[in-house]
Structure 1
Amino acid sequence: MTDRSAMSERDTHLMEKEICSDSEAADCLEEAFVFGEDLELNQFDGLPFSSRYYKLLQERKILPVWKARGEFLDILVNNQLVIVSGTTKTGMSTQIPQWCAEFCLSAQYQHGMAVCTQIHTQQTVDLALRVADEMDVNIGHEVGYTIPLETCCSTDTVLRFCTDTLLLREMMSDPMLEHYGAIVIDQAHERTVSTDVLLGLLRDILVHRPDLRAVILTVSSMTGRLLAHYGSNVPVVSLEALCPAEVIYRTCSSKDYFYSALRMVLEIHRTEEEGDVALFLASAQEIVCARAILQREGTRLGADLGKLVPVVLCPGQGGQGQAPPLLGEGMGGRGTVRTRGRRVFLSTRQGEDMFWNVDPVNFVIDAGVEKRCVYNPRIRANSEVLRSISRSQADIRKQLTGPTGKCFCLYPEDRVLPVETSPQILETNLTSTILFLKRMEIAGLGHCDFITRPDPEGLMQALEELDYLAALDDDGNLSEIGIIISELPLDAQMAKALLASCEFDCVSEVVTIAAMLSDFSVEKWCHDCHLNHSALQTADSIRSELTDILKRIELPISETSFGTKTNTLNVKRALLAGFFMQIARDVDGSGNYFMLTHRHMAQVHPASSYGSKAHQLGLPEWVVFHEYTLSENNCIRTVSEISPAVFIQTAPQYFFYNLPSSESKDILQHILDGDGSGHSEDKKRTLTINSKVDKDCSTLAQSYDRCVLQ
């Protein structure tokens, strides 16, 4: 919502209070009688409250969290840290941030404003809009939000919603979060890497800032782990649990859950009373497929059954195969006019917390499984794993309907579910996380008290990669290059490639490549040879942001010179400066690529121009690739042909010497020997790198509860 439209809505609210038609006069008088004098002023902007404020206030007061308002505010005054446990429908995500803003206002913002983190971009915006409406203020003024590539705030902002990742980036310039008097960390039970890092740094920040208040919002199953981490004396506000629905367990094959779930939707539509359905599947790809099937099957149903309206409720996070958010008709959030018929909300585990803004559903169908991308540090690859959801997730889904609804679980009642959601910090590439924590050491935060200690093998791989990229000095601290890399909102390899492009006079070209690869996959913008307009807009915004950062840190930006052989070679040199660890060779001329770093074999992804036109273009022998994915057919995607001689010239020699033995390495060694250009310093460095990384990781792994980065 733009400032102008927000102001228009605000003016409309004021006119509702100041001017009433003759037919509405009685209603206006009744409102004034019920809520007291109709001159009460909003403490945040000094203007009279509108009639909508009082209407929404009535809705807020029936939320389960409202019963704990007095208890929460008393605890907040007398304690630095508060834990609030509840589920999606309790209202804590909308009300707790408002009460924290009131707390900051009571101190006249001497210690800063309030901020609330979210894990999804879409939910960040939705919550900000809803809270601004409830507080009767303008979005972008008293209440604002910050998401990647968009900021809707002003100097008047007293409550800001932002993603957990962006709050971490903000700490690079404000490590003690001194702009804030109250911090709300929402959805702590989702265990994203950024949220876990925030929770880990919070203990140190609270010690340095006794005036700061921190509130952690989570589910009840997470409170025990938080108390063990922060201390058993931390107060906990437990919100009244909602009455669970009638639960019906139906056993189905682990391979047949998808079609069993769709059959259940159609069965409910034919046999059950009216009411919306929430269907939880394993992945965004399944959501897109399910929507298409339900749309097709819905047209074949009799008119007497009513319309079946599939609605995607899945936060779009970018990347391969992700469904766009909020597709379909009749979204119909709280207080909106909904489409006639039965809505079927299609969601994954990422969408569980988005049901706060949806009218209550009558039926829930839970497939009981999820697909997660798990990173393997040994081979630097992601693999998609299908596994059971956690018990806390199952409980959240069961409570979405209330006591009058039904929850159909497509798994046996005696299935043993994990108690909590697996922390992402155990399943992701830690290079960017370690880079950030090294940057925090410079800022004075010497350690991160992780709730769950990262895997030592993942830490070793991250430190090794940063060292290969010259981001660390000989003492294991950030080098000058490492500091510059940490400024860029890119993964470390792409950031290093962008820095190298300054040397090779191809900044404009590489910054475009970085933008195109940052937020979406190749297929998304090149599907069926058509361009995706929104994807290109995103890439353009990322490109502008990266260019602004390069100008801020005073790096040279060369003029574009697309098309020349020299330019093409320089772009490849820049890419190799960052991605030299991702080199592969076609060993038999048929597209079987051998990856030198870990000796695995893979094919070029069929959607690649090389993969789809291999019979016409032929396949290059040596390539650099952007991504390697473990699947039924292991594949590399986004590849470029390279010269092995250029690779030898660009890659650090100590990285080359550490490569495992292979025929491909022997070929490179022959090229190196023929070139006669030895690098004695690099050769000496290969003797120390392994011992330095081992020493760092040994220190990291010694403490069970604390990860100390030296």
Structure 2
Amino acid sequence: LILERGKMDLKMEFLTSSPENQCFSELLDGSDGDEEEILVCGEDLELNPFDGLPYSSRYYRLMKEREELPIWKEKHTFMESLLHNQIVIVSGDAKTGKSSQVPQWCAEHCLCLQPRGAVVCTQVLRQAAVALALRVADQMDVSLGHEVGYSVPFDSCCTPQTILRLVPLQALTSFYFPLFFFLLSSTGVLIIIREHGIIFPKVKLKSKAIKKTWLEEGISSKKKKRHRARPVFACRAPEQPFLAALRLLLEIHHSGERGHIVIFLACEQEIEKAYQMIRQEQSNLNPDLGELIPIPLYPTKQDLTPKLTQDKQKCCQKYRRKVLLTTSSGEPLIWTKNVTFVIDVGVERRKVYNPRIRADSVLTQPISQSQAEVHKQILGMSPSGKIFCLYPEEFTHKEMKAEIPAKVQESNLTSLVLFLKRMDIAGFPHCDFITSPAPESLMQALEDLDYLAALDNDGNLSEFGIIMSEFPLDPQLSKSLLASCEFECVDEMLTIAAMVTAPSCFLQAPPGTEEIARTCWSRFSHPAGDHCTLINVFHAFKAATANFSSEKWCRDHFLSCSALSMAGVIRAELVEIMKRIELPISPPDFGSEENLLSIKKALLSGYFMHIARDVDGSGNYLMLTHKQVAQLHPFSSYYNIRRIPEWVLFHQFSISEGNSIRVVSEICPQLFAELVPQYYFSNLPPSESKNILQEVINHLAPVSATKEEQKTANDSKENEEFPQTPTEQRCIIQ
């Protein structure tokens, strides 16, 4: 009993260790919270081979549920296939148990290997990797962080002895190079789930010691087709699908039919809006019908909306209906059982990268036919399940594509190309492209890396590029961080890098409180721009954490506590990387004129491709690289103080309902002309802005030539007076 209770306590410690895990812990069990755990005691206790401790009674209860999963009857076939083949492909419906059971079977296989192997199981979403780790550890009856764990960028819950590790695909296919090599060297089985156009170099297939299992979402064979609820289609598409979905939710609740509800919305903004509206409507509902518990599941956001706190005694007295709010890409986050109703709006907002203008476009478009099919499969074997499609049936065949485009076709490939170069894959014909990316995107990525001095004359990674690949950052941000070593502003650039990598710390103010929020944010504004403003916010948050409740302080200032906490974690890891590769970290000197100038120089070293100019004095910024026009984002400190600098450096440009540039700092043309690579400037398209910069360069050229002549003369004189032996080469930041 003591061993069993201690094991359960360890699990619960991890389940409640963070807001992210708290939300998922509620989804691990489909019950309504009225079941009591029953502990049994016997003389001959069966031992768990993974940790050597006796199994708990919960393990046996969960085992019965696992054996009822459709995938379970295929266990023997799968284990035989894994034993005799290097690659095994498993295809089946959603919610058949593939994602949770196959990793456990692979762990059993690795436990028998000599030496013992390890399993790496991928998930598309960071949150899905954490959620699956929680679920699998619970079913295996082991402690999360020991035998089972997860490794996501800037957060690892593992030990070197972890036998089953859940990771996001980002860890294998992007810029997180050190983690990738660790996994590659210690893996017995690599499991790829929902790969969506992932790239795998052929060099990896040469390793016969690594087995690969592919889990694919597919439609069951007609011979084995399970019972599936018949969808109810709308006569015509509603003008406002979001409001139609909420009206239908309330109709279902008022009908008295029991069962949890999943609503697939178009975007994460709608998730937040629906969450707030359901909470506000709660007081107007008939208490006899029970309570609606909205649970937001964000596919990309790290900061999850806190759960409602309820009195436990009251909760047991009335029915609680969970309403899971997510988007089509958030389907892997759904673990709740007893889902009886699914509401599907049929559209989604997708972020698509445009390599020509180096910007993300947010497009609202129909979901794919495969996504619509997966939404139906969520109901599983429920005979009373109902799926409501808020679109007509002909919409499925006329407007929906068969599959969603692969991520590799819609994303910025600069980080991925840097990763492939680090893998010594000089030519892309040596890669296995499940779905080939657009040649234009590859060329833009190579061009950007060349401008950043990450490539040598042969197109391979330069020494500077190798150092850049050590950081789990965007290559432009890595370049700025390395340049800060030369300009002696490392401490400040570490904070900036962490703040722009973490989710935005500024929260959307509720209606009617926008001016209050702007007043709060204005306290952190720095005249040098948003990058320095982020430093002020981070320093204020650290001070608040030391003196009083950081969560209350963040609420009072309309800031995200989880985003700022994540920034602290990211900064600490970046410091560790700097120390590991022995890069100098200059002491903090934030606020001095020299330091502010150094920060701008470091930023320009990486973001010289992100320059815009106000062309008419009214805040219409024209990109230097193309003819797109954008305005300051409302979160910008310049926006709040109504100041419009002429030349700016920006971190992000997004095309959506209103074109906007985020995280903006003022620069001067002279500074740009001093730091920009000449071959980049010569390739810029003709424009008035380029003519202005050319005049600046022409003005600076004679001065620079005179200084160079004086320096050469002085060096020659010194060499005559003090002959020197050849000195060792310096590492110069280009």
Do the two structures share a fold, i.e. TM-score over 0.5? yes
Alignment of 1:203-222 (within 5 A): 203-206=202-205, 208-220=206-218
Q: Report the more deviating stretch, 162-171 or 265-274.
A: 162-171
In the superposition, the TM-score normalised over structure 1's length comes to: 0.82
Equivalents in 1 of 2:298, 2:109: separation in Å?
A: 33
Aligned position for 1:126: 131
Alignment of 1:414-429 (within 5 A): 414-415=394-395, 416=397, 417-429=400-412
- For the 8 Å contact 2:504–2:563, the answer to whether it is kept is no
Aligned position for 2:567: 539
Aligned position for 1:411: 391
Seen in structure 2, the aligned counterparts of structure 1 residues 498 and 239 have a Cα distance that, compared at 3 Å, is farther
Aligned position for 2:593: 565
Aligned position for 2:186: 179
In the alignment of these two chains, the number of paired residues is 624
Letter in 2 for 1:381: A
Q: Report the more deviating stretch, 152-161 or 632-641.
A: 152-161
Aligned position for 1:344: 323
Identity of aligned residues (%): 49
Equivalents in 2 of 1:337, 1:471: separation in Å?
A: 61
Q: Which of 81, 102, 114 lines up with 1:108 in the alignment?
A: 114
Cα deviation 1:76-95 (Å, max 9, x = unaligned): 11111111112332111111
Q: Which of 417, 434, 442 lines up with 1:459 in the alignment?
A: 442
Q: Which of 276, 300, 305 lines up with 2:260 in the alignment?
A: 276
- For the 8 Å contact 1:524–1:535, the answer to whether it is kept is no
Equivalents in 2 of 1:125, 1:6: separation in Å?
A: 22
- Does residue 1:380 correspond to 2:358, yes or no? yes
Equivalents in 2 of 1:542, 1:438: separation in Å?
A: 25
Aligned position for 1:359: 337
Aligned position for 1:75: 81
Aligned position for 1:588: 616
Aligned position for 1:9: 9
Seen in structure 2, the aligned counterparts of structure 1 residues 438 and 272 have a Cα distance that, compared at 3 Å, is same
**Does the residue aligned with 2:506 lie in a helix, a strand or coil?**
helix
Letter in 2 for 1:503: E
- For the 8 Å contact 1:243–1:399, the answer to whether it is kept is no
Q: Which of 131, 137, 142 lines up with 1:137 in the alignment?
A: 142
Equivalents in 1 of 2:444, 2:662: separation in Å?
A: 22
- Does residue 1:149 correspond to 2:172, yes or no? no
Seen in structure 2, the aligned counterparts of structure 1 residues 133 and 533 have a Cα distance that, compared at 3 Å, is same
- Does residue 1:297 correspond to 2:289, yes or no? no
**Does the residue aligned with 1:362 lie in a helix, a strand or coil?**
strand
Cα deviation 1:333-392 (Å, max 9, x = unaligned): xxx98972322211112321122x202211111001111011111111111101111111
Equivalents in 2 of 1:255, 1:678: separation in Å?
A: 63
**Does the residue aligned with 2:433 lie in a helix, a strand or coil?**
coil
Identify unmatched segments of 5+ residues in structure 2.
13-35, 510-516, 521-556, 706-734
Equivalents in 2 of 1:598, 1:154: separation in Å?
A: 48
Equivalents in 1 of 2:346, 2:68: separation in Å?
A: 31
Equivalents in 2 of 1:327, 1:595: separation in Å?
A: 42
Seen in structure 2, the aligned counterparts of structure 1 residues 453 and 175 have a Cα distance that, compared at 3 Å, is farther
Letter in 2 for 1:340: Y
Q: Cα distance, 1:395 vs. partner?
A: 1.1
Equivalents in 2 of 1:46, 1:444: separation in Å?
A: 48
Alignment of 1:257-656 (within 5 A): 257-271=241-255, 273-318=257-302, 324=304, 327-328=307-308, 340-355=319-334, 357-401=335-379, 402-415=382-395, 416=397, 417-441=400-424, 447-521=430-504, 523-524=506-507, 528=518, 529=520, 530=557, 531-614=559-642, 618-656=643-681
Letter in 1 for 2:279: Q
Cα deviation 1:459-496 (Å, max 9, x = unaligned): 11111111111111111111111111111111011110
Equivalents in 2 of 1:385, 1:632: separation in Å?
A: 9
**Does the residue aligned with 1:178 lie in a helix, a strand or coil?**
helix
Q: Cα distance, 1:243 vs. partner?
A: 2.0
Seen in structure 2, the aligned counterparts of structure 1 residues 430 and 443 have a Cα distance that, compared at 3 Å, is closer
Equivalents in 2 of 1:425, 1:499: separation in Å?
A: 28
Seen in structure 2, the aligned counterparts of structure 1 residues 10 and 293 have a Cα distance that, compared at 3 Å, is closer
**Does the residue aligned with 2:95 lie in a helix, a strand or coil?**
helix
**Does the residue aligned with 1:503 lie in a helix, a strand or coil?**
helix
- For the 8 Å contact 1:84–1:239, the answer to whether it is kept is no
**Does the residue aligned with 1:512 lie in a helix, a strand or coil?**
helix
Seen in structure 2, the aligned counterparts of structure 1 residues 5 and 324 have a Cα distance that, compared at 3 Å, is farther
Q: Report the more deviating stretch, 305-314 or 502-511.
A: 305-314
Aligned position for 2:695: 670
In the superposition, the TM-score normalised over structure 2's length comes to: 0.80
Cα RMSD (Å): 3.0
Q: Cα distance, 1:69 vs. partner?
A: 0.7
Seen in structure 2, the aligned counterparts of structure 1 residues 4 and 661 have a Cα distance that, compared at 3 Å, is farther
Letter in 1 for 2:667: I
Q: Cα distance, 1:238 vs. partner?
A: 11
Seen in structure 2, the aligned counterparts of structure 1 residues 492 and 73 have a Cα distance that, compared at 3 Å, is same
Letter in 1 for 2:679: Y
Letter in 2 for 1:157: T
Q: Cα distance, 1:289 vs. partner?
A: 0.8
Equivalents in 2 of 1:504, 1:510: separation in Å?
A: 10
Equivalents in 2 of 1:638, 1:263: separation in Å?
A: 38
Seen in structure 2, the aligned counterparts of structure 1 residues 487 and 467 have a Cα distance that, compared at 3 Å, is same
Aligned position for 2:685: 660
**Does the residue aligned with 2:279 lie in a helix, a strand or coil?**
helix
Q: Cα distance, 1:678 vs. partner?
A: 10
**Does the residue aligned with 1:183 lie in a helix, a strand or coil?**
strand
Q: Cα distance, 1:182 vs. partner?
A: 0.8
Cα deviation 1:593-626 (Å, max 9, x = unaligned): 1111112211111231111221xxx311111111
- For the 8 Å contact 2:649–2:665, the answer to whether it is kept is yes
Q: Cα distance, 1:172 vs. partner?
A: 6.8
Equivalents in 1 of 2:260, 2:475: separation in Å?
A: 45
Aligned position for 1:704: none
Seen in structure 2, the aligned counterparts of structure 1 residues 88 and 621 have a Cα distance that, compared at 3 Å, is same
**Does the residue aligned with 2:189 lie in a helix, a strand or coil?**
strand
- For the 8 Å contact 2:187–2:210, the answer to whether it is kept is yes
